[in-house]
Structure 1
Amino acid sequence: MDPFSAEGELLNIHNAFHQGQYLTVIDFDISSLSTENKIPARVLQLRAQIAVGQAKEVLANIGKEGNAPDFAAVKVFAQYVSGSTSNAISEIATLVEAESENTTVQLLGGTVLQAAEKTEEALSLLGKHQGSLEAYEIRSFLHTTRPDADKALLHRIALIVQIHLQQNRTDLALKEVQAARKWAQDSLLVNIAESWVGLRMGGERYQQAFYVFEELAQAPSTSATKSLVGQAVAELHLGRFPEAEAALQQAIQKDPSDIEAIANSVVLKVISGKDTSEHTSNLEAIAPEHPLLVDLQEKSSFFDQAAGKYSAKVAS
């Protein structure tokens, strides 16, 4: 039985993680899980801790988790998030060489490599043994992989979609989603990935993405800052600024330090012609290297350089 299926024992913790309900994941009771599912469940818990800012705590205690390569991958990921980037990149290279077929190594290794702007290496690792898009479907339909392999493929596909979107290759991201949709029609992860692509493609896909994020954001059992931010971004694209602001305020109430909620609040204020100083200051304090701030600083510098070429002339 697929451990992530409707009857599978990992379904709830898996969905909670991808909905951004990290505290639910951390508190999830995994003691009664079968032996084969305890490691993937524990990995999700450790990743959730990292997501809520507890990377150093994870590093301090990771040695107690065991010798599975999954935990070695989590350690490297935590190192990268904690700022030990050079060590993490070096260690992930060694780990990939020894354990390239391990799903957690592929996923977290790919994440670290992409964050380090090693895109081709990340895609190569995430593409290990996947063959072609058609191979996804063949392996799924013939059930020739391990019980959890289909869901493991979905994890990798979701990350590949994110990477292609960062490359501005929406065509490749869409191709990945369409292939996955053929054999994982009801997957939450596919719905979310398809919504990411939809927000990039625009048109009627904005509304489709909104429906996905709104359903997650407004249901008490699935609401989280991540889904609220997704809803707000869709609202922004649809020109519904008051609704976007309401969703972002909900997200910040849930987590005042949520980086993406604050960053998108800055964007909303700019578009609405309102003062951005409060949210910008908050973002600078929490994430001074956030891409939005880096972009703003670069553009400000370019403006100053351009303005410096001209001097004011006073008519006599």
Structure 2
Amino acid sequence: MAASPDLLFGLRNSFYLGAYQAAISSSDIPNLTANDALERDVIVQRSYIGIGSYKLVINEIDSSAPTALQAVKLLALYLSGSKEAAISSIQEWLSDAALGNNPVLRLIAGIIYMHEQDYNEALKHTNAGGTMELYALNVQIFIKMHRSDYAEKQLKMMQQIDEDHTLTQLANAWLDLAVGGSKIQEAYLIFQDFSEKYQMTGMVLNGKAVCCIHMGHFDEAESLLLEALNKDAKDAETLANLVVCSLHLGKPSTRFLNQLKLLHPDHMLVKRLATAEDNFDRAVQSIA
């Protein structure tokens, strides 16, 4: 018997590549099963989170919603600033035998603990895998832990399940960037392939730009990043990458840096810069 068509393929793909508005706009899909309808709702609410509409998600998902949607609401709460409340709730749910193994709940727990830079805690909930998103998140976590060997094992599992899956390709590109060297060109080709097949998104543009920065092609990186900035003027990674690119090109980076500080004060680049400035001030005082 022929397999039934995957009605959510396009929606998932848009979400994975960061085309959040496209995912929201194309979510009215008829004839979905109850499970597919829930997955669709989860993707739509996570897409709203992707465009920063946290309050909308918090208001739309009530206490009677399924566990998967409740988990998404916790992510919106966390990102809107209610970090302690969100973490407390997620810990409580994860310890509940009936809820704790829900793959969306485990995924959201992994995302929240990754934001907290508590990678060991994140892996407690994601390491068992089970979905392509969980495997892809594991790849990201291991890269952040500078364990590209473990990330590669996760990627191999993804390749065995579906080598052509968008998340497998994305995870491959992330790992190539982490490993560096000759792998950078391979990562660039993956992002180039995405840009030819699908809608050009800020995520894909940033991916290509980071590859260009690694290869020393700063002019090309700058044009890609300015294109990404046109799509979303508030995106943290675009602004951070533009700061780096401008410095390499000998151009002023103050405007991008000030925007990053204002919009994303917790960004790693902002924190590192603040630490460097403090160290410099202390060094100056010590010899004054």
Q: Do both proteins adopt the same fold according to a TM-score greater than 0.5, normalized to the shorter chain?
A: yes
The residue that corresponds to 2:28 in the other structure is 29
Equivalent in 251, 258, 267 of residue 235 of structure 2:
258
CA 1:253–1:63: 2 relative to 1, 3 Å: same
Task: State whether structure 2 residue 176 is matched by structure 1 residue 205.
Answer: no
The residue that corresponds to 2:247 in the other structure is 270
User: Offset of 1:44 from its aligned partner?
Assistant: 0.5
Q: CA RMSD in A?
A: 1.9
* Residues 141-160 of structure 1 mapped to structure 2, 5 A cutoff: 153-160=131-138
The residue that corresponds to 2:211 in the other structure is 234
- Letter of the 1:198 partner, please give it: D
- Letter of the 1:225 partner, please give it: G
* Residues 215-230 of structure 1 mapped to structure 2, 5 A cutoff: 215-219=193-197, 221-230=198-207
User: Offset of 1:31 from its aligned partner?
Assistant: 4.1
Q: Which moved more, 1:93-102 or 1:81-90?
A: 93-102
Tell me, yes or no, if the aligned pair for 1:210 and 1:234 is still in contact at 8 Å: yes
The residue that corresponds to 2:44 in the other structure is 45
- Letter of the 2:262 partner, please give it: A
Tell me, yes or no, if the aligned pair for 1:228 and 1:248 is still in contact at 8 Å: yes
The residue that corresponds to 1:291 in the other structure is 268
What per-residue deviation string (whole Å, max 9, x for no partner) do you get for residues 221-246 of structure 1?
A: 32111100111001111111111011
Using the size of structure 1 for normalisation, the TM-score is 0.86
1:301 is paired with a residue of what secondary structure?
helix
- Letter of the 1:271 partner, please give it: H
The residue that corresponds to 1:60 in the other structure is 59
Task: State whether structure 2 residue 22 is matched by structure 1 residue 12.
Answer: no
Tell me, yes or no, if the aligned pair for 2:7 and 2:29 is still in contact at 8 Å: no
The residue that corresponds to 1:101 in the other structure is 101
Tell me, yes or no, if the aligned pair for 1:55 and 1:78 is still in contact at 8 Å: yes
What per-residue deviation string (whole Å, max 9, x for no partner) do you get for residues 236-293 of structure 1?
A: 1111111101100110111111221111000111122221111111112211221111
Using the alignment, how far apart are the partners of 2:115 and 2:276 within structure 1?
Answer: 23
Equivalent in 159, 162, 178 of residue 184 of structure 1:
162
1:309 is paired with a residue of what secondary structure?
helix
What per-residue deviation string (whole Å, max 9, x for no partner) do you get for residues 148-189 of structure 1?
A: xxxx52110111111111111122112211232123211110
Q: Which has the higher contact order (CA 8 A, sep 6+)?
A: 1
Using the alignment, how far apart are the partners of 2:16 and 2:85 within structure 1?
Answer: 28
Using the alignment, how far apart are the partners of 1:307 and 1:173 within structure 2?
Answer: 42
The residue that corresponds to 2:69 in the other structure is 71
The residue that corresponds to 2:153 in the other structure is 175
Tell me, yes or no, if the aligned pair for 1:165 and 1:173 is still in contact at 8 Å: yes
The structure that has the greater radius of gyration is 1
- Letter of the 1:301 partner, please give it: D
User: Offset of 1:110 from its aligned partner?
Assistant: 1.3
Using the alignment, how far apart are the partners of 1:182 and 1:70 within structure 2?
Answer: 26
Equivalenced residue count is: 285
The residue that corresponds to 1:125 in the other structure is 125
Using the alignment, how far apart are the partners of 2:157 and 2:104 within structure 1?
Answer: 22
* Residues 72-87 of structure 1 mapped to structure 2, 5 A cutoff: 72-87=70-85
- Letter of the 1:239 partner, please give it: G
Tell me, yes or no, if the aligned pair for 1:214 and 1:228 is still in contact at 8 Å: no
CA 1:113–1:274: 2 relative to 1, 3 Å: same
Percent identical: 29
Using the size of structure 2 for normalisation, the TM-score is 0.94
Using the alignment, how far apart are the partners of 1:50 and 1:183 within structure 2?
Answer: 28
Using the alignment, how far apart are the partners of 2:196 and 2:285 within structure 1?
Answer: 50
Using the alignment, how far apart are the partners of 1:158 and 1:179 within structure 2?
Answer: 10
Tell me, yes or no, if the aligned pair for 1:217 and 1:231 is still in contact at 8 Å: no
User: Offset of 1:309 from its aligned partner?
Assistant: 2.0
